[in-house]
Structure 1
Amino acid sequence: MSLVPDKPQIKYPDLPVAQRRDEIMGAMRSHQVVIVVGETGSGKTTQLPKMAYELACEEGKAGRVGCTQPRRLAAATVARRVAEEMGTGLGDRVGYQVRFVEKVQEETSIKFMTDGILLAETQRDRDLKQYDTLIIDEAHERSLNIDFILGYLKNLLGRRKDLRVVVSSATLDAGMFSEYFDGAPVVNVEGRTFPVEDHFLPSATEGEDLSRHVTRAVRWVTDLDAGGDVLIFLPGEREIRECADVLEGESFPRTDILPLFARLGLDEQERVFRVGGSNRRVVLATNVAETSVTIPGIVYVVDSGLARVSRWNPSRQIQRLQIEQISQASARQRRGRCGRICEGVCVRLYDEEILNTADEYTDPEIRRSSLAGVILRMKSLNLPDVRDFLFLSPPSSKAISEGHRALEEVGAMGKDGNLTRIGSQLARLPLDPRMGRMLIEAQRRKVLDAVLVMVGGMSVMDVRERPQEKQTEADKAHKKFNDADSDFLTLLHIWSAIEAFRDKRRFKRNQLRKYCKQNFLSFRRVLEWDQIVSELRRLVRDTLKVDSRPLAAERKQWGDEDEIHKSLMAGIPMQFGFWDKEKRAYHSTNGREFAVFPGSGLFGKKNPEWLLAFELVETTRVWARKVAMIDVRWIEELVPQMCRYRYHSPRWDEHQGAVYGKETVLCGGLKIVDSRKVFYGRVRPEEAHEVFIREAILGNGLRTRGTFLDRLDEVRYEVQSAEHKLRRAGGLWSEEAVYDFFYDKIPAHICTAKAFQKWRTTGENEEKLMLSVADCIWGEMEDLSDFPDCVWCGDKSYDVSYAENPGEQADGVIFEVGVDEIVDFPDYLTSWGVPGMLDERVYLLVRALPKTQRQACSPARDAAAAFIDEWKGWEPSQALKVELADFLSKRSGHLIEAEMFDEGRLPASYRPKIRVWNDDEEELGFGEDAEGIRQKLSGMMRERREILVNEEWEMTGGEGWDFGDIPEVTDDGVFPALVDEGETVGMRAYLDRADAHESHRAGCVRLFQIDQASQLDYVHRHFPLAMAAKMMLPMMERTKGEGMDQMLRIACEGAMGMPLPRSAEQFQSASSNGKGELFNCAEKVAKGFEAIIDSHRVITDWIELHQSDRNLDVIANDLSEEIDWLLGSDFIWRAGYARFCQYGRYFRAMEERLKRLQSLPQIKDDEKRERIQRLWKPWFEVWKADPKNAEIWQLGWWLMEWRVSEFAPSFPRKMKVSEKRIEQAMADLDISI
């Protein structure tokens, strides 16, 4: 059907552009492109489409006239106006199409649309064949869509010579546009306005606040005229609210302060356009009021000269909303808002110089926006590369690179620059690539219903409203929608609540409006959201061939929430960050930092470790808007193409039998995986092969050993032994040579034990791995015959090892000697060392002689060589320095003695050592002096000797004398003795006579008790101890309740008599005689104990009374120590029969001491005590440390007898002791005085 009417009747109103109709149409007839610059009020927007239509009719063309507008409202409004002027219904001859609304029929001749609609049509109709003429209105705005359309049309004009293009605007760089379209003619049309007077009112002071500056301007205008409405241009919502607060506080008479910005609620916006009141209106607006809307009644314009401009930072990937000085073109647009109804006044809050030096035009959006969508569309249309595309203002190379990178992030473009399958799908969706990617991923993850609603919600401004005067109420109303973990889920909560309300009310528009108002939701934006969701459902049905259902009412039916957020993340994969606890901020990709926007449901609450953000916007700081908590593991899953993998720390894993390393994954500079274990053969096969050789083979890390490894160990030991002998650590063995050997033999792909085992056991491969010494060393091996592994001395040999540890004790030649061999080890043997080091050792000894002797032997090197020649082949029998002294004395004619050689001056490596080992190969001793080692190990050697001798003597479990004759001492110096085993008696040999005596004493008593068991039982039951003494025994004894048992045992000892039996005959005689004496002896033991009771009480009472006396406390302490020893652990048994029967004597002696203190000066006692304490104190400390030592006990009796002789001289002596004798005994026991 033809779109050309038979006779079009077109009327033009009396507007400036209509007066230039002939000129404009003439230019259109003769040129493909015409530039029309029509000032505000010229009528260009409504009349140019009619002129183009009229011209098409004259020429008989059937195409449409298409006219683009930057905004949907303008497209619809202008279409309605033109339809009225042409006398046709809207949608008939004149129609319009915007997102979600299409009022166009087949016969529509003039079609108004947004520039986005025209761009979408290029995908279905690359040559735009339905159009005869295209009018690009408001081209000065230079949005991305406008610039792309202009570039597309410039390329298209060459193919479609019949296509006309008209570019129009009130303020644009006509020269640049004309040049761009190859000299297209420019028609300038003046507007119909009243004169406007300009006034400049810059800041009064350098730091004047903007709100105060605005107030000063309003006061100036009020002084000039109190009637006309005022329009004030401010950069943003925050500045509008601040200025409104200040202006309200000034209380201007009959004045309404009205804000106007995009996020403002519908009711508040309508107040701006409502006229007819008696009050003056002061409208505070953003740059939305420059061209998009016309506010009636404006007489005065106050221009701050500032605007909040959105700029995309490609390097930081941040959309910055920064306040900038406006361009001259914007200043003219603002000025043009007044002077429409009467003469106007424009007050500029800056000086004229700033205006004159400002940029002439606002930067085109293409130079301050991400180009991802443009590049995607160009790729899908097979247009030239974006770098070659004929843009009016070509974008920077950085912005282009960022656009490519953004497409790579969402998987739309490969590294080769070609579209992927996902990219081709995205190109068919007329959506922001990020949003489209979310829908594609949601379809794959089966959560499309939920994500589709989210994408719709993110495509409109926030539906939540927060009026200045009702912020608290709004926050409270919105709180019920907030999700603690995700702002994206908050969108679903809002949607679900609205849908539930609509279903309940069966969608009555007025009731929904009321519901929105009650919950502080924008009714207009809610409807827009609903329209977008409906359109998106249509798009996914037509493009992705999948049906989307309405969102379920219950949250649990929305789908897996992880899958939902993964789908969102697929579209914004690099918009994540992790929480830095120290900096209290989130680190995002490419070095950015951000904070959660205050409007988020997560603001001021918890800080998830990882966070996803829909967008990052920079104002006073970088804010993340619409955020959600995520799992860091999702990043690698969703954007592997943007991850960078670093591999490090390869190690052989013996358990796994393979080379494993650490894998660190970075995405956008952030570490998302730290040191994950990875099989290195998959990611770095060459390096894995190298590690396999170094650690599995050379490092002995293979569990399954082959013959070749035994050979490797043998060769390594042989070479390293040679290195130690020659003192050339690392000088022979070459790890690299061994590595090269195996690297040449083992195939490059092998890096696991399994693969190696399979190869090794195939054919003769194992033989290939049998290396020799020559394969492992630098140069050739030296002669090692002078460095033997053992040294002979007589008929015995001693192992020798070699160590090269400079600065350490274990350095040089080491004789390895068993613990049993050290007893007979020749002390002189170490001084000779080994032949290979003897020459240098002798030389150093000569050099160490005193000066006179050294000079007599000079030159030292010749003297050493002569000595070596003489001794070659001879076996030494005494120390080297002895033989050397004798040799040098004869050679030099000077007396040289062995003591002159200072061996301590020799380096440690030339002083041979001895290392002693036990049977378990544990080191027991180490040093240069064999005798010193023997002394150190004397205790252990003693134990070993006891063990050895007891292999002959030890017996157990005897109940009678079955031991034969037991000598007191054997020819080899050991002391056999009986041993008390409790219920039986054994025998063993001791190396110490005192220990043997105590053991034999206990053993004989136990054997007597076994032999006389019935008599012993009788005596035990009738033990003749007084009841009072029995009661005192537990108080005095320290024998763990064994006092009576010990009394019985020493009674047995007394009954047997002395000396103790050493044969069966002697024992039988002692046992028979002792049977009749046992009770008598028990009586004597009982009397011995009873004899100490009274004295003990007197002494302890005195001690208690005087232990705090400053004069007598030392005596009290001395007596306490004496009692401590006398009544020490097992004192009854330790005392023995003979001494215990006389125990009362020691206590009576102490009591006598106290009596003498009463009759003699204390100084006498002090002199004796101090002399005794000199020996008593050190002995007493040793006794406390080793209370069971028999020799220490014996010395204690000597000290007690000395005490008796000193403090109770009238008492008869039992043995002769003296101070000198006790000192000698203490010296023999190594007790320091």
Structure 2
Amino acid sequence: MDLPIYPHRSSILNALSTHDTLVLSSETGSGKSTQVPQYILDSPIGEIRRKKSSSSSPSPAKQQKLITCTQPRRVAAISVATRVASEMNTNVGTTVGYCVRFDSTQSNDTRILYQTDGMLLREVTQADGSLLPRYSVIALDESHERSLRTDVLFGVVKRAMLARNYSRADKSDSDIPPEDASLLALRRRCRALKLPPLKTVVMSATMDISSFTSFFPNSTSLSIPGRTHPVQVLYLPTPTPDYIDGCLSAILRLHELYRESEGWGDILCFLPGQEEIEDVAQLLAAALKEGGSGKTEEAKLLGKIATSAGGLRGDRVQSLKGLGANILATTQALDEAQIVPLYAALPPEQQMVAFQPLIPGARRKIVLSTNIAETSVTLSDVAFVVDSGRHKTRRFNPATGMEALEEEPIAKAQGTQRAGRAGRTRPGVCLRMYPEETWDELPTAPEPEIKRVNLAQVVLQLKTMGVADPRKFDYVTPPDVQSLLKAFEQLFGLGALDRSMELTEWGVSMSKLPLSPTFAHLLLKSREFSCVKEMLTAVAMLSADNIFYRPNSSAKGNAVQRAAAAHKRFMSHEGDLPTLLYVYQTWKKEAAYVAASDKHRDKKMRQMQGKQKTSHGEWCTRNFVNGRALARAHDVRAQLEELCGRSTVKGGLGMDVGSSCGNDIVPFLKCACAGLFLQSASRDGVMNGGSKKGKPPAGGAGLMGRYKTTFGGFLCNVHPTSTLFQRNPAPKCVVYTELVVTKKNYLRGVTQIKHEWLGEVAPAFRSRFGAQ
């Protein structure tokens, strides 16, 4: 009742009862994500009930309808669902559940379902899914982020509304253009199923309301105040040479200035990515371990924080960089502070630390986060925000087919959201690590993701939904035509579309897998080479980030050398995919691990211990392997195996998941070639330190050359984390799982193949593209 949204409860419900769409604009911290679904559930809008059916499978009209709230990120879906379940005095998985990729708690009792937008999109591709028959109300949260999946969902939900919210008295369908045969078919199907109308709530912290009210049918809008406490925003007088140093300095000074006499409060620092977060975490841990910020007199006045926030550029910060700190920051308090990293690649258990109570000895958290904490999650005790003004974003170049991970300045809308995190529970302070003149030059809003990413998966989903021409789909912001054409080209190359750009049976099978089109194609190809078992493992391992733990150069003792020696036993001469496969196989053979959700966990653990297996934690520590990443790969593999092995009648793929190539690695490598043939590269003729093409230096030196991609002819280097990095001599031909651009063009997930295999196992290599 103390939340800013509570006084507007009646207005929200009245607006939704008289309109099909409510566009709800509300500042961060108003309570919209947690409260609106509860308001709807307790109102007549949420009481769409039907008589129980005598059949075991009731019709869509007779099934209990759900209220769903979509989130761009899995951590938000899980944390908000947990919070709402707590407020309703129930457990997650009963009245309130969540559904994210490879993890779901929804049950037959679930009425409010928080899920990622990607999971709802996957549901759309199923039978009658385009009508969203399970739902009575759909809340599209964090719409201002304009993520790719959310943008597509806008169009999908609108089509479902146009099909379901028809006048039963008027069956002329005159409101549907005659050329839109698919929408007309949807409406007829809706009548047959007797589906009730669909309500939609579009929720956002900041957005252009008019663009959404004009896009969705029968819509109205409400604006609700959020933050109830003022936030003082301070800027640097001049640009800082290094925002990492500036952020570190600001955190240390805030930590010292605002102690018990001034009032404790958590500090939230926004940084571009995982690498920057880990760097700052180490520097910060080292600084706090040796006694905090030095308790200097210069930080007694608030104004001096802004004036000198970039002023630790000198000896102090540079010495910290050399000092290092091999500390797991979330397990111990340092100078009464708990350091908490927060980014998307963290395992869910580590992400949840940001929402848990302080550890013993800590008086505040210092949360180092990417833009995941801008609006997707709420950290209730934050009083201070340090904003680097930077974020990382992926950009796909349709002309080249290359994807770059670029660090860019944020938009004003993002900066406003970041500052707002400091004013939820008390007056706050936001320190921006850039001058006010820089703020004035920032764009108003970030560019929608649909304008800058690979659209292959979107096109595949739309075709599976029955959209005849994805170019004519109803987008809020239409993507570039060139990007769509590049997506068509890729799907055609993978066999998902035929020459008429119609969906093939292969494409239908690809759409059933919760994977990118490339990895779905790779996994399906494993049937031809009788290596389904091995490829399930490889694809699952690719879904888990950072399998190997590599200590940095500042780690104590000889950790770097020990890690290198431990990893060497897994390294395959053939490259990264076989290496990942061998890590998993060795772990299964030597370590005792059973998923916590397994009903027979205790019995299986006793059996493993009887076989004298090493505990999971001990095995991972000894081998410098990320235990949580392995556990996640294990869970992903189990779910992929279930989907692949399930019969086609039940929506599966009917694959023989026990099919194995055994100790013969050649079928596995040929499968990798057949699955990744569009991502092949040959060693460039001019080697590092070489002379003439085809004539490497004597003694083999310099055979660690660059690669030229088969399609596009781009010169690339093997990524330093690859097992083939600096291989001498380098393989003549490889396939790769990812091409990224940072300081150089890098190939990741590199596996060696034979060039002649491309024509042998991937006939499309020649027939579709005429490659030689």
TM norm structure 2: 0.75
The answer as to 2:753 corresponding to 1:630 is yes
CA separation of 1:16 and 1:571: change in aligned 2, threshold 3 A: farther
Runs of 4+ that moved beyond 6 A: 265-271
Query: Partner residue of 1:30?
Result: 18
Query: Partner residue of 1:709?
Result: none
Distance 1:263 1:440 in 2: 26
Out of 391-400 and 509-518, give the one that drifted further: 509-518
Give the C-alpha shift of residue 472 in structure 1.
Answer: 4.2
Map 1:938-1087; keep pairs closer than 5 Å: none
CA separation of 1:106 and 1:58: change in aligned 2, threshold 3 A: closer
Contact 2:158/2:217, CA 8 A, preserved across alignment: no
1:155 partner amino acid: R
Give the C-alpha shift of residue 197 in structure 1.
Answer: 0.6
CA separation of 1:381 and 1:244: change in aligned 2, threshold 3 A: closer
Contact 2:48/2:136, CA 8 A, preserved across alignment: no
1:30 partner amino acid: T
Deviations 1:67-98 (A, max 9, x none): 22233343333333333433445433333333
Gaps of 5+ in 2: 51-63, 166-196, 295-334, 594-604, 647-651, 689-705
Give the C-alpha shift of residue 391 in structure 1.
Answer: 1.2
Query: Partner residue of 1:301?
Result: 385
Query: Partner residue of 1:133?
Result: 137
Query: Partner residue of 2:726?
Result: 604
Distance 1:413 1:167 in 2: 33
Deviations 1:649-697 (A, max 9, x none): xxxxxxxxxxxxxxxx963xxxxx4xxxxxxxxxxxxxxxxxxxxxxxx
Query: Partner residue of 1:210?
Result: 243
Query: Partner residue of 1:587?
Result: 708
Contact 2:522/2:672, CA 8 A, preserved across alignment: yes
Find 1:82's aligned residue among 69, 81, 84.
84
Map 1:711-860; keep pairs closer than 5 Å: none
Deviations 1:89-142 (A, max 9, x none): 543333333333443333432222222222222222331222111111222232
Distance 1:79 1:294 in 2: 12
Identity %: 33
Deviations 1:377-416 (A, max 9, x none): 2112211411100111111011101100110121211222
Q: Secondary structure at the match of 1:399?
A: helix
The answer as to 2:541 corresponding to 1:457 is yes
Deviations 1:793-834 (A, max 9, x none): xxxxxxxxxxxxxxxxxxxxxxxxxxxxxxxxxxxxxxxxxx
Query: Partner residue of 1:201?
Result: 236
Query: Partner residue of 2:575?
Result: 486
CA separation of 1:176 and 1:35: change in aligned 2, threshold 3 A: same
Contact 2:717/2:747, CA 8 A, preserved across alignment: yes
Query: Partner residue of 1:890?
Result: none
1:612 partner amino acid: V
2:16 partner amino acid: M
Give the C-alpha shift of residue 525 in structure 1.
Answer: 2.2
Query: Partner residue of 1:50?
Result: 38
Q: Secondary structure at the match of 2:547?
A: coil
Contact 2:19/2:218, CA 8 A, preserved across alignment: no
Query: Partner residue of 1:476?
Result: 565
Give the C-alpha shift of residue 481 in structure 1.
Answer: 1.7
1:483 partner amino acid: S
2:144 partner amino acid: H
CA separation of 1:170 and 1:418: change in aligned 2, threshold 3 A: same
Out of 104-113 and 437-446, give the one that drifted further: 104-113
Distance 2:6 2:258 in 1: 36
Distance 1:270 1:99 in 2: 17
Map 1:816-965; keep pairs closer than 5 Å: none
Find 2:8's aligned residue among 20, 27, 30.
20
The answer as to 2:162 corresponding to 1:158 is yes
The answer as to 2:213 corresponding to 1:178 is yes
Give the C-alpha shift of residue 475 in structure 1.
Answer: 3.2
Q: Secondary structure at the match of 1:185?
A: strand
CA separation of 1:389 and 1:442: change in aligned 2, threshold 3 A: same
Contact 1:263/1:465, CA 8 A, preserved across alignment: no
Distance 2:2 2:659 in 1: 52
Query: Partner residue of 1:92?
Result: 94
Q: Secondary structure at the match of 1:591?
A: coil
Find 2:487's aligned residue among 403, 411, 418.
403
Q: Secondary structure at the match of 2:222?
A: strand
Distance 2:569 2:715 in 1: 30
Contact 2:734/2:753, CA 8 A, preserved across alignment: yes
Aligned residue pairs: how many? 630
Gaps of 5+ in 1: 1-12, 552-556, 646-664, 668-672, 674-1233
CA separation of 1:293 and 1:89: change in aligned 2, threshold 3 A: closer
Contact 1:212/1:246, CA 8 A, preserved across alignment: no
Q: Secondary structure at the match of 1:113?
A: strand
1:235 partner amino acid: P
CA separation of 1:641 and 1:528: change in aligned 2, threshold 3 A: same
1:237 partner amino acid: Q
Find 1:231's aligned residue among 264, 268, 274.
268
The answer as to 2:633 corresponding to 1:529 is yes
Query: Partner residue of 2:177?
Result: none
Distance 1:492 1:371 in 2: 29
Deviations 1:609-668 (A, max 9, x none): 1111110111111111110111111222344435379xxxxxxxxxxxxxxxxxxx963x
Out of 358-367 and 130-139, give the one that drifted further: 358-367
Distance 1:220 1:96 in 2: 39
Find 1:339's aligned residue among 417, 423, 439.
423
2:73 partner amino acid: R
Find 2:396's aligned residue among 312, 315, 338.
312
Distance 2:155 2:674 in 1: 31
Q: Secondary structure at the match of 2:471?
A: coil
Deviations 1:187-212 (A, max 9, x none): 1222244221100115456xx23333
Deviations 1:1044-1069 (A, max 9, x none): xxxxxxxxxxxxxxxxxxxxxxxxxx
Give the C-alpha shift of residue 320 in structure 1.
Answer: 0.7
Map 1:97-108; keep pairs closer than 5 Å: 97-108=99-110
Contact 1:318/1:617, CA 8 A, preserved across alignment: yes
Give the C-alpha shift of residue 246 in structure 1.
Answer: 5.5
Distance 2:282 2:68 in 1: 46
Deviations 1:472-509 (A, max 9, x none): 44333322222122100111111112211346964689
Structure number, greater radius of gyration:
1
Contact 2:46/2:67, CA 8 A, preserved across alignment: no
Superposed CA RMSD: 3.0
The answer as to 2:134 corresponding to 1:119 is no
Query: Partner residue of 1:71?
Result: 73
Distance 1:139 1:120 in 2: 19
Deviations 1:1171-1209 (A, max 9, x none): xxxxxxxxxxxxxxxxxxxxxxxxxxxxxxxxxxxxxxx
CA separation of 1:327 and 1:55: change in aligned 2, threshold 3 A: farther
Query: Partner residue of 2:523?
Result: 439
Query: RCO (CA 8 Å, sep 6+): is it higher in 1 or 2?
Result: 2
Distance 1:87 1:125 in 2: 34
2:116 partner amino acid: T
Give the C-alpha shift of residue 449 in structure 1.
Answer: 0.5
Distance 1:102 1:241 in 2: 30
Out of 41-50 and 211-220, give the one that drifted further: 211-220
Deviations 1:306-337 (A, max 9, x none): 11111112222122111101112221222233
1:55 partner amino acid: P
CA separation of 1:39 and 1:487: change in aligned 2, threshold 3 A: same
Distance 1:415 1:401 in 2: 13
Contact 2:591/2:614, CA 8 A, preserved across alignment: no
Give the C-alpha shift of residue 587 in structure 1.
Answer: 1.0
The answer as to 2:358 corresponding to 1:275 is yes
Find 1:511's aligned residue among 615, 622, 644.
615
Distance 2:617 2:416 in 1: 39
Q: Secondary structure at the match of 1:175?
A: helix
Contact 1:173/1:361, CA 8 A, preserved across alignment: no
Distance 1:441 1:155 in 2: 34
Q: Secondary structure at the match of 1:338?
A: helix
Deviations 1:356-383 (A, max 9, x none): 3322222222222211111112112211
Contact 1:202/1:349, CA 8 A, preserved across alignment: no
